[in-house]
């Protein structure tokens, strides 16, 4: 099962960061259904200061650039994405057109593939 890691920054404002985290304690059910519908099996997000790190497992053949577009076809998922973008900022080094920046694996303990 493919595993992906991505990073993004939050706006450097304590009140907005707290609000962002509150939203993630009550993710809209349509968003979770939408993520599962495009093949995401597990997703976790961590925060250090303003930096977010997300790792997720997806179905074989999953392509973030292609498959996240399908997720956004649902109006409720698109609204969630638009709301979350008000809290987020691209990380330095993100490729052109990339919101959550893909991270390259540099080490793995054991064979997780």
**Beta bridge mates, 43:** 56
Whether 112 has a pLDDT exceeding 60, the answer reads: no
Q: Is residue 109 part of a domain?
A: no
pLDDT band at 1 (very low <50, low <70, confident <90, very high): confident
The CATH number of the domain where 41 resides is what? 3.30.70.1090
Q: Is residue 10 part of a domain?
A: yes
Question: How many structural domains compose the chain?
Answer: 1
State the average pLDDT over residues 77-89: 97
Specify the pLDDT at position 20.
98
Question: In whole angstroms, what is the distance from residue 61 CA to residue 58 CA?
Answer: 8
Specify the pLDDT at position 69.
85
């Amino acid at each position: 099962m493919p595993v992906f890691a991505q990073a993004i920054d939050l706006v450097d404002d304590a009140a907005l960061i707290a609000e962002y985290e509150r939203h993630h304690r009550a993710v809209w059910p349509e968003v979770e259904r939408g993520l599962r519908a495009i093949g995401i099996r597990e997703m976790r997000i961590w925060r250090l200061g303003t930096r977010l790190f997300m790792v997720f497992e997806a179905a074989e053949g999953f392509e973030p650039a292609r498959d996240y577009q399908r997720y956004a076809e649902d109006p409720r998922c698109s609204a969630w994405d638009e709301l979350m973008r008000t809290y987020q900022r691209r990380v330095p080094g993100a490729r052109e057109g990339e919101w959550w920046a893909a991270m390259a694996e540099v080490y793995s303990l054991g064979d997780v593939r």
